[in-house]
Amino acid sequence: MMLKAKLLKARMLKAKIAGHVLTLAATVLLGGLLSAVLVRLAPGFDVDERELDPHLSAQSVQALRAAREQDQNIFRFYLSYMNRVAHGDLGKSFSLGQPVRTLLRDRAPTTLRLLALGLAMAWVAALALALSAAWLKASIFDAASTLLSAALLCLPAAVLALLSVLWNISGSLAIALIVFPRIYRYSRNLLTRSYSLPHIVTARAKGLGEARILLWHAIPGIAPQLLALAGVSVSMAVGAAIPVEALCGLPGVGQLAWQAALGRDLPLLVNITILVTLVTLLANSGADVIGQVFRSQES
């Protein structure tokens, strides 16, 4: 009976992982199609300045045109585009005149550093305040932190970025301030609910230490939800990277996306969006699979 249940859980986990892999594959294929269509329809696609070279013979010009003829069919173009992407060639940005791959490679470290620091600060602050709220029920401290998170939720991310420039605070702190209220609200509710559960009330009544209650009883019960929130928080932070990098003058992927949007550089913008989608999907899928493992171990 036990073995059967274990096998069933393992099968469910495999199905979940397969589902996530399928979603990722569908995103790549659909995103690739969208990207190919936009690249194909981008202004200047049919133009090749080499045709203006007076040194080229009529036959050479004809050969160049014949080579481009193959790209007229959108599906053939899609296949060749996906083939190039598989080999790491993401195309060229027409507004910046550089390969998309180079641009992303140069700017990714700034964004990764910004997001990692911002997320770490937001999580530490949110969990510390949420725990305090759960321990000290209905305190002034709880009311103040709830009010702070409510006020931050009412501010547009771009305004927080502008204020961070005005007050000379780092971009990662701006990211933390944007993500913090969402994490705080959810984790506070989870922890408050968890601390009112009968087995935790009993553990407290029996005199178990707060640290032991937290690590052995409260956190394991809400770990799947917290993991899901961790996945979502990556998505929130990535979204916040656009205004923060654009307005704080940080040369990251978010600023690149903004510049691409202003310059209507669709190939660059779509490539960035697909990559960002893949990163957030991976984060969410990872969180979901780990959460599933937690759940199956608990039951």
Q: Name the one range near other proteins by CB under 8 A: 48-56, 107-115, 182-190, 278-286.
A: 278-286
Between residues 67 and 155, which has the closer beta carbon with respect to other proteins?
155
Between residues 8 and 159, which has the closer beta carbon with respect to other proteins?
159
Q: Name the one range near other proteins by CB under 8 A: 70-78, 131-139, 161-169, 200-208.
A: 161-169
Per-residue interface string for the shown chain with other proteins, residues 219-258, x marking contact by CB under 8 A: ----------------xx-xxx-xx--xx---------xx
Using the rule CB under 8 A, which residue among 93, 187, 233, 280 binds other proteins? 280
HSE toward the beta carbon, residue 85, CA cutoff 13 A: 19
Between residues 22 and 215, which has the closer beta carbon with respect to other proteins?
22
Using the rule CB under 8 A, which residue among 18, 150, 197, 201 binds other proteins? 150
Between residues 136 and 151, which has the closer beta carbon with respect to other proteins?
151
Q: How far is the CB of 55 from other proteins (least distance, A)?
A: 38
Q: Does 156 bind other proteins (CB under 8 A)?
A: yes
Q: Does 138 bind other proteins (CB under 8 A)?
A: no
**Site size toward other proteins, by CB under 8 A:** 42
Beta carbons of 114 and 244 less than 8 angstroms apart:
yes
- Three-class DSSP labels, the chain: CHHHHHHHHHHHHHHHHHHHHHHHHHHHHHHHHHHHHHHHHCCCCCCCHHHHCCCCCHHHHHHHHHHHHHHHCHHHHHHHHHHHHHCCCCCECCCCCCEHHHHHHHHHHHHHHHHHHHHHHHHHHHHHHHHHHHHCCCCHHHHHHHHHHHHHHCCCHHHHHHHHHHCCCCHHHHHHHHHHHHHHHHHHHHHHHHHCCHHHHHHHHCCCCHHHHHHHHHHHHHHHHHHHHHHHHHHHHHHHHHHHHHHHCCCCHHHHHHHHHHCCCHHHHHHHHHHHHHHHHHHHHHHHHHHHHHHHHHC
Q: Does 12 bind other proteins (CB under 8 A)?
A: no
Beta carbons of 125 and 180 less than 8 angstroms apart:
yes
Between residues 119 and 281, which has the closer beta carbon with respect to other proteins?
281
Place of tokens 């202004």: 43
Contacts of 161 (CB under 8 A, 6+ apart): 171, 174, 243, 244, 246, 247, 248
Q: How far is the CB of 162 from other proteins (least distance, A)?
A: 5
Q: How far is the CB of 43 from other proteins (least distance, A)?
A: 11
Q: Does 266 bind other proteins (CB under 8 A)?
A: yes
34-73 binders of other proteins (CB under 8 A): 38
Q: How far is the CB of 184 from other proteins (least distance, A)?
A: 15
Q: How far is the CB of 275 from other proteins (least distance, A)?
A: 10
User: Angle 166-170-176 (CA atoms, 0-180°, nearest 5)?
Assistant: 105
Q: How far is the CB of 119 from other proteins (least distance, A)?
A: 14
Catalog residues that contact other proteins under the rule CB under 8 A.
23, 26-27, 30, 38, 150-151, 153-159, 162-163, 166, 235-236, 238-240, 242-243, 246-247, 257-258, 260-262, 264, 266, 269-270, 272-273, 276-277, 280-281, 284
